[in-house]
């Protein structure tokens, strides 16, 4: 497992990104959109870090940041624009169903309460938004590494990504199911056990925050193996 080779570096990389996004999030509206716009850029930086670790090298933050100035990363930023547009489209359509409750909850305009969820048909909204976004997720999954490592154009990378995920559909279903168990069920079980053993809400919240960050970093580290399995590991020349 790649994460186990250099856990501290990966954790530092993610926490740094988290603080940057928290700082940007202070800006009204713009701060809510930036995480989506920069998502492909950050996931690509993480994949590059995983590739270096997989080759037995360290995570060189200066090298990764210098790569942001390359022309291909400008294309990845354009991919982020499409990523943002797809998310806005999915949320926009879902707003026709729940009157915009889902978007207001995401943007922090309202607090989610059980009664609000029941009255707004939010579960139906989430399902429809997920189904609408699924083709976009397939198109974006491998697009960034195809742009950076295989020097594909933006729309060619999106095309190849969509059909690569489509042809590996069964493997991705298993992958998604595994992360539902690891990312949702496992933390729920852990939180209950901690609450029973410790019983202090503040400590439970702090420990669950650490667990959630750890699982998120491990999930980011799992992106690179999916690419390597489908397209093969990038050569040293491609990774430079």
Structural domain of residue 139, as residue ranges?
2-239
Confidence of residue 103 (pLDDT cuts 50, 70, 90): low
Which of 23-32, 86-95, 195-204 is least confident? 195-204
pLDDT for residue 214 is more than 80 = yes
pLDDT of residue 191: 74
SS3 call for 47:
helix
Which of 5-9, 112-116, 198-202 is least confident? 112-116
Tell which residue, 219, 210, 175, 181, has the closest CA to residue 3: 219
CA distances from 85 to 3, 79, 164 (A): 31, 10, 22
Distance separating alpha carbons of residues 69 and 76, to the nearest angstrom:
11
| Counted domains in the chain | 1
pLDDT of residue 92: 77
Q: What percent of the chain has pLDDT over 70?
A: 81
Average pLDDT for the chain:
82
Q: What is the DSSP string of 66-103?
A: HGGGSHHHHHHHHHHHHHHHHHHHHHHHHHHHHTTHHH
pLDDT of residue 121: 67
pTM: 0.84
pLDDT of residue 226: 94
Confidence of residue 114 (pLDDT cuts 50, 70, 90): low
What would the two tokens of residue 86 be? 């797809």
């Amino acid at each position: 497992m790649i994460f186990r080779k250099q856990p501290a570096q990966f954790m530092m990389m993610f926490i740094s990104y988290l603080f940057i996004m928290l700082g940007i999030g202070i800006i009204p509206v713009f701060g809510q959109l930036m995480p989506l716009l920069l998502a492909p850029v950050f996931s690509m930086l993480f994949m590059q870090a995983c590739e270096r670790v997989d080759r037995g090298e360290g995570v060189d933050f200066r090298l990764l940041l210098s790569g942001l100035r390359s022309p291909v990363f400008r294309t990845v930023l354009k991919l982020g624009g499409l990523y943002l547009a797809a998310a806005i489209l999915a949320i926009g359509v879902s707003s026709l169903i729940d009157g915009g409750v889902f978007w207001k909850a995401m943007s922090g305009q309202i607090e989610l309460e059980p009664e609000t969820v029941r009255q707004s048909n939010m579960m139906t909204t989430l399902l429809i938004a997920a189904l609408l976004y699924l083709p976009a997720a397939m198109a974006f999954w491998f697009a960034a590494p195809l742009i950076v490592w295989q020097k594909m154009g933006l729309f060619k990378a999106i095309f190849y990504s969509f059909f690569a995920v489509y042809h590996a559909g069964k493997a991705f279903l298993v992958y998604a199911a595994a992360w539902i168990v690891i990312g949702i069920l496992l933390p729920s079980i852990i939180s209950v056990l901690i609450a029973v053993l410790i019983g202090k809400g503040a400590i439970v919240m702090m420990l669950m925050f650490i667990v959630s960050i750890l699982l998120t970093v491990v999930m980011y580290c799992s992106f690179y193996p999916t690419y390597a399995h489908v397209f093969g590991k990038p050569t040293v020349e491609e990774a430079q």
